[in-house]
């Protein structure tokens, strides 16, 4: 049964809490890492989809990184993510790691620290804030961290809030006005958090070539927060022999909530199962699990083969 466990210190507004998502499934666990100063709500649709496909799913609240907890350094973020990974690895045969936005940079660092991970999924990977909606003065904020501004400045999120879907964007705009938080993230991000995120991204870049885990990259060509240069860096440098890239054209940054969220979820589930098959992975006492998405793909391939015969 899926459980949502409120984090005691993670209150953001009168009706919003950062909450841990966990669902017990098969022997393949997927660790989902949300974006900066946000919560597992960003990954709710993906988590439910993976749950329905039979995976064990964990979307944790990480102290010092998730919404509502006191700010900590990126080293502490990584330690928290590693603890979550190790807890899953102690119970399940396979553990894959999926990160959204800055969570993708955290996933890169985590998989480098734990190379036994089955596979890596990078969604709207952010190694630099260089999208078309980022204000021109954004590059100055890292310098501002070393001034008294770091105690007071809050970077305020603005439209389009990572969403191409106009109806959902309007809903999020209303939520941002009422609370400090929404299902696609916080209304503001503190300067120290941004500084640590940049440190994390720079660190993640350094070890990309050493990562050999199966890797899926999904990114929107119109991402307003992180341009396609972000995933292209990984695509060009990662050491993975099994690498798949999916480009989206009807979404902005929050691809797990926007118009193509079904594609994101379906491709993620499919890739994770194909990764199992590529490595000949199977439980010792059971038959390999074939997901609904993989079954559909296999039927499509069979149909094409019959047509061409």
Whole domain around residue 297: which residue ranges? Answer: 3-131+196-308
Average pLDDT, stretch 106-120?
A: 98
Is the per-residue pLDDT at 36 higher than 80?
Answer: yes
- Which burial class, exposed, middle or buried, applies to 225 when counting CB atoms under 10 A from its CB (0-12, 13-18, 19+)? buried
Q: Of 15-24, 114-123, 283-292, where does mean pLDDT reach its minimum? A: 283-292
pLDDT tens per residue, range 286-309: 444 555 666 666 666 667 666 666
Buried b (16+ CB within 10 A) or exposed e, 125-141: bbbbbbbebeeeeeeeb
Is the per-residue pLDDT at 278 higher than 90?
Answer: no
Tell me, yes or no, whether 222 lies in a domain.
yes
Cβ neighbours for 107, distance < 8 A, ≥ 6 positions apart: 33, 81, 97, 98, 99, 120, 121, 122
Tell me, yes or no, whether 264 lies in a domain.
yes
Tell me, yes or no, whether 284 lies in a domain.
yes
pLDDT of 14 reads: 32
285: domain CATH number? Answer: 3.40.50.1820
Is the per-residue pLDDT at 23 higher than 60?
Answer: yes
Is the per-residue pLDDT at 32 higher than 80?
Answer: yes
pLDDT of 279 reads: 80
Cβ neighbours for 228, distance < 8 A, ≥ 6 positions apart: 219, 221, 247
**112's tokens:** 């480098």
Q: In the chain, what percentage of residues exceed pLDDT 90?
A: 58
Q: Cα separation of 244 and 257, whole Å? A: 21
Q: Cα separation of 238 and 214, whole Å? A: 10
Tell me, yes or no, whether 234 lies in a domain.
yes
pTM of structure: 0.81
Tell me, yes or no, whether 182 lies in a domain.
no
Q: Cα separation of 191 and 2, whole Å? A: 35
Q: Cα separation of 65 and 52, whole Å? A: 28
What are the beta bridge partners of residue 6? 19
If you count them, how many residues does the chain have?
309
What are the beta bridge partners of residue 248? 220
**84's tokens:** 């979550």
Q: Cα separation of 113 and 115, whole Å? A: 6
Tell me, yes or no, whether 67 lies in a domain.
yes
Q: What is the mean pLDDT of the chain?
A: 83
Tell me, yes or no, whether 15 lies in a domain.
yes
pLDDT of 185 reads: 59
Tell me, yes or no, whether 302 lies in a domain.
yes
Quick one: CA dihedral 199, 218, 137, 185, positive or negative?
A: negative
Q: Cα separation of 40 and 51, whole Å? A: 14
Q: Of 41-45, 64-68, 215-219, 263-267, where does mean pLDDT reach its minimum? A: 64-68
pLDDT tens per residue, range 171-218: 776 776 666 555 655 656 777 888 899 999 999 999 999 999 999 999
Q: How many domains does the chain fold into? A: 1
Nearest CA among 64, 126, 56, 118 for reference residue 91: 56
pLDDT of 179 reads: 65
Q: Cα separation of 57 and 131, whole Å? A: 30
Q: Cα separation of 61 and 88, whole Å? A: 15
């Amino acid at each position: 049964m899926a459980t949502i466990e409120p984090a005691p210190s993670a209150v953001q507004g009168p009706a919003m809490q950062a909450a841990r998502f966990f669902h017990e499934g098969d022997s393949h666990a997927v660790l989902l890492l949300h974006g900066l100063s946000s919560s597992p709500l960003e990954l709710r649709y993906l988590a439910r989809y993976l749950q329905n496909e039979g995976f064990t799913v964990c979307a944790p609240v990480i102290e010092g990184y998730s919404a509502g907890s006191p700010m900590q350094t990126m080293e502490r973020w990584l330690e928290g993510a590693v603890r979550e990974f190790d807890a899953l690895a102690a119970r399940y045969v396979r553990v894959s790691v999926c990160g959204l936005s800055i969570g993708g940079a955290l996933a890169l660092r985590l998989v480098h620290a734990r190379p036994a991970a089955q596979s890596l999924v990078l969604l709207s990977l952010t190694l630099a804030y260089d999208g078309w909606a980022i204000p021109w003065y954004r590059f100055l904020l890292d310098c501002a961290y070393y001034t008294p501004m770091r105690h007071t400045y809050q970077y305020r999120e603005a439209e389009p809030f990572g969403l191409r879907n106009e109806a959902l964007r309007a809903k999020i705009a209303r939520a941002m006005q009422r609370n400090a938080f929404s299902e696609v993230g916080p209304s503001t991000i503190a300067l120290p958090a941004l500084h640590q995120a940049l440190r994390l991204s720079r660190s993640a870049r350094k070890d990309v070539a050493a990562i050999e885990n199966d890797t899926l990259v999904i990114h929107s060509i119109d991402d307003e927060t992180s341009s396609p240069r972000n995933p292209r860096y990984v695509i060009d440098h990662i050491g993975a022999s099994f690498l798949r890239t999916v480009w989206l054209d009807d979404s902005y940054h929050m691809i797990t909530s926007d118009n193509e969220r079904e594609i994101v979820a379906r491709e993620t589930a499919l890739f994770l199962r194909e990764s199992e098959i590529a490595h000949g992975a199977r439980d010792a006492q059971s038959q390999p699990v074939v997901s609904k998405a993989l079954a559909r793909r296999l039927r499509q391939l069979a149909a094409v083969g019959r047509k061409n015969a």
